[in-house]
Amino acid sequence: MILDAHGHLGPWPDFLIPDQSAEGMVALMDRLGVDAVGISHLVAVGAGAEEGNRLAFAAAERHPGRFGVWQVYNPHQRNPLAASGVWGVKLHPDVHRCALDDPRYDPVWELGLPVLAHGQTDSPWSDPERFVTVARRHPQVPLLLGHAGLWPHGFARAAALVRDHPNVHLEICGSRMTGRWVARLAAAIGADRVVYGSDACFLDLRIGFGRVALAPLTDADRALVLGGNLARVLRAAGVLPEGHLP
């Protein structure tokens, strides 16, 4: 099973994305053998959480079983969250300028679903240390540390910080990640704690997938990173029933 933990649909104002569509994503998924991608809509990450989430749900409905929804929670908009029918919640502390451990996110932790959050080394909003703070407060909430901290100088630190917090996994998409670093992170924290994501359509699905496909990993570790780990997390959270894709 190949599960991509980190996907997006829709436009982003900072730069041109040639193909933002669900249909284009599914075509690439089919070509590569990716079973499902967890998506948050970029409109939701941006200015319109509720509208963007509606668009994500619509895409998932059009392509049943191919998209899991990471519904976005914007702490300034306090948008309603679904308790089921999703993979979990996406948080973007840097876009929303609210630190990950801020009490304004309490409704998310109370919900208890898996959370994929943007993680950025040295950011005042989403440095991996904040993931540790949240992990200590809410050890029952599965946390995916997005981008493994984003910057290469922070990858090893992110792994070291979360190593002793089993509810945190490193999600490895990003334009600065390399195949070599994927292998290093698997060695540092255990291949069972590293989760493949692509950031497609923000980034190209083929690059994110290819980075893991060609990384210097054993086949067993590659299988864990490419989907085994995320399947385990989602099943444990009750959002990915055994033998069933969302």
Partner 1 sequence: MPYPVVDAHRLIGPIPFDDLPEDPRPDMARLGIGRAYVTHSLSLHSDARAGNEALLALDDPRLVPVPVLLPDPPGPRWSGAGPTGAGWSGAGPTGAGPFGCEAGRDVPMVRLCPARHRFDLTGPSALRALAALGVPAALDLDETTPAQLLALARELPGQRVLLLNPGYRRLRAIAELMAALPNLWLEIGTVNTQRGVEWLARRFGAERLVFGTGAPVMDDCGPRFLLDHLDLPEADIALIASGGGLL
Residues of this chain that bind partner 1 (CB under 8 A): 14-20, 24-25, 28, 31-32, 152-153, 175-180, 200-216
Query: Smallest distance from the beta carbon of 226 to partner 1, in angstroms?
Result: 13
Which residue is listed with tokens 């385990």?
232
Instruction: Name the residue nearer to partner 1 (CB basis): 74 or 198.
Output: 198
DSSP 3-state of 236: helix
Q: Which residues contact 146 (CB under 8 A, 6 or more apart)?
A: 6, 116, 117, 118, 119, 126, 171, 173, 197
Instruction: Name the residue nearer to partner 1 (CB basis): 3 or 29.
Output: 29
Residue-wise DSSP of 101-119: T-GGGHHHHHH---EEEE-
DSSP 3-state of 13: coil
Query: Smallest distance from the beta carbon of 127 to partner 1, in angstroms?
Result: 19
Instruction: Name the residue nearer to partner 1 (CB basis): 134 or 212.
Output: 212
d(CA 18, CA 28): 14
Query: Smallest distance from the beta carbon of 219 to partner 1, in angstroms?
Result: 15
d(CA 8, CA 10): 7
Query: Smallest distance from the beta carbon of 107 to partner 1, in angstroms?
Result: 32
Query: Smallest distance from the beta carbon of 38 to partner 1, in angstroms?
Result: 16
Instruction: Name the residue nearer to partner 1 (CB basis): 201 or 239.
Output: 201
Instruction: Name the residue nearer to partner 1 (CB basis): 23 or 110.
Output: 23
CB 113 within 8 A of CB 239: yes
Query: Smallest distance from the beta carbon of 17 to partner 1, in angstroms?
Result: 5
Query: Smallest distance from the beta carbon of 225 to partner 1, in angstroms?
Result: 13
Instruction: Name the residue nearer to partner 1 (CB basis): 145 or 201.
Output: 201
Instruction: Name the residue nearer to partner 1 (CB basis): 24 or 112.
Output: 24
Q: Which two tokens stand for residue 246?
A: 């969302």
What burial letters (b/e) apply to 159-171, b meaning 16+ CB within 10 Å? bebbeebebbbbb
d(CA 193, CA 238): 19
d(CA 184, CA 182): 5
DSSP 45: H
